[in-house]
Amino acid sequence: MNGVRIGIVGAGFIGNMHAQLLAEIPRAAVTAIYDTQLDRAQALARKVEAEAASSLTALLERVDAVYITAPNRTHPDIALAALDRGCHVFCEKPMAVSLEAARAMLEASEQSDRVFQVGHNRRFAPVYRKVKELINTDRFRPHSAHIKMNRGELLDPPWVGQPDVTGGFLYETTIHMLDMVRWLFGDVTSVMVAGSAHEYGEVDDFSMLLTFASGMHATLASSADASWFFPFERIEIFAHHATIETQEMVGVTYTEGLDSRLTTFSFHHLSREDQWGYRSEDEAFIRSILDGAPVTVSTWDGYKAVELVEACYRSLRTGERIPLDV
């Protein structure tokens, strides 16, 4: 075939999502699936007309690029093996669950000429693209922001409640917003974090205060056992007589000036794959491989997100405000 032969490692929820989106991209073909549970690999292989591979090595031998969609702690070993074999890599978030492993991946990708993209999909979501467009104007220079990212549970899939697999709740869920604030507001200069443990044998409820090199500051609340009350994810941004507010991945409302006019952009009509940016991130990965387009979410971005999570956990442990290098 012409185009990119892709292998999927981990045939669960997000592996299925990517495989089915990739199957719709003309210049890509999912050709192999590997999962430690063979029946899962076989089921997905049937859906996208690929072959189930008997091992990671067998998969890497027959593809040009690999999607790492297995649980968090497995990502570094699979990514390093794939780069070693000369494959392009798409690695789901979090890139790694320790700074040491993230640094090894960053260095390996810098020494390689292969494309390495990290799955911070929200950067491709139309809601957040609209926010980025709005705050890049002279009319809207943010002073501060108020952010929440909640979950109803850490039960599904079962490993999301096991910190030895996830690296901790911040790695599993909140890392999406920690990457998002860097993308929207620039480098974070410090974090101060309070937290408490309730349901899941780990700290599962966090209140954070972030400062930025731009002079901005933000609060971020993130609870693992709040509820699925909509929107469970929201950013409010405040500027001179102006406010932007997001609703999940479906809408952005903003107002400028002191009168009561509001402008709303709605993405209700889009599919979930498009609202959440999954289709666009997959298309971007293929463009980077075949057309040399710049990598949209790099290993540096993946590393900086891991660094932020680590700084948050350190602040929680020590009770101190943790400065970050810019």
Say how many residues touch ligand NAD, by CB under 6 A: 23
Q: How far is the CB of 4 from ligand NAD (least distance, A)?
A: 20
Find the binder of ligand NAD among 70, 180, 208, 316 (CB under 6 A): 70
Q: How far is the CB of 120 from ligand NAD (least distance, A)?
A: 7
Residue (69 or 109) nearer to ligand NAD, CB: 69
- 130: which residues sit within 8 A by CB, 6+ positions away? 252, 265
Per-residue burial over 24-62, b = 16 or more CB atoms within 10 Å of its CB, e = otherwise: ebeebbbbbbbbeeeebbbebbeebebbbbeebeebbee
Residue (254 or 276) nearer to ligand NAD, CB: 276
Q: What are phi and psi of 33, to 5 degrees?
A: -130, 135
Map the footprint of ligand NAD across residues 126-165, applying CB under 6 A. Answer: 157
Rounded CA separation 117/249 (Å): 21
Partnered with residue 30 across adjacent β-strands are: 6
Taken in order 22, 24, 29, 35, the sign of the CA dihedral is positive
Find the binder of ligand NAD among 34, 67, 124, 212 (CB under 6 A): 34
Residue (86 or 157) nearer to ligand NAD, CB: 157
Map the footprint of ligand NAD across residues 44-63, applying CB under 6 A. Answer: none
By the rule CB under 6 A, 205 interacts with ligand NAD = no
Ramachandran quadrant class, 312 (left: phi over 0; alpha: psi -120 to 50; beta: rest): alpha
By the rule CB under 6 A, 119 interacts with ligand NAD = yes
By the rule CB under 6 A, 72 interacts with ligand NAD = yes
Cβ pair 277, 250 in contact under 8 A: no
Map the footprint of ligand NAD across residues 2-21, applying CB under 6 A. Answer: 9-15
Residue (37 or 54) nearer to ligand NAD, CB: 37
Q: How far is the CB of 71 from ligand NAD (least distance, A)?
A: 5
Number of H helices, E strands in the chain: 12, 15
Rounded CA separation 9/178 (Å): 26
Tokens 């952009």 sit at which residue?
A: 265
By the rule CB under 6 A, 303 interacts with ligand NAD = no
Q: How far is the CB of 157 from ligand NAD (least distance, A)?
A: 4
By the rule CB under 6 A, 174 interacts with ligand NAD = no
By the rule CB under 6 A, 36 interacts with ligand NAD = yes
When CB distances to ligand NAD are compared, the closest residue is 12
- 21: which residues sit within 8 A by CB, 6+ positions away? 273, 278, 279, 282
By the rule CB under 6 A, 71 interacts with ligand NAD = yes
Report which of 127, 123, 170 is spatially closest to residue 149, judged by C-alpha positions.
Answer: 170
Q: How far is the CB of 256 from ligand NAD (least distance, A)?
A: 32
Residue (37 or 227) nearer to ligand NAD, CB: 37
Residue (43 or 209) nearer to ligand NAD, CB: 43
Rounded CA separation 211/279 (Å): 32
Rounded CA separation 279/128 (Å): 15
Find the binder of ligand NAD among 8, 53, 59, 93 (CB under 6 A): 93
Taken in order 283, 284, 285, 288, the sign of the CA dihedral is positive
By the rule CB under 6 A, 69 interacts with ligand NAD = yes
The residue range among 70-78, 257-265, 282-290, 318-326 that interacts with ligand NAD, by the rule CB under 6 A, is 70-78
Rounded CA separation 320/316 (Å): 7
Find the binder of ligand NAD among 64, 92, 179, 283 (CB under 6 A): 92
What residues line the site for ligand NAD (CB under 6 A)? Answer: 9-15, 34-37, 40, 69-72, 74, 92-93, 119, 121, 157, 172
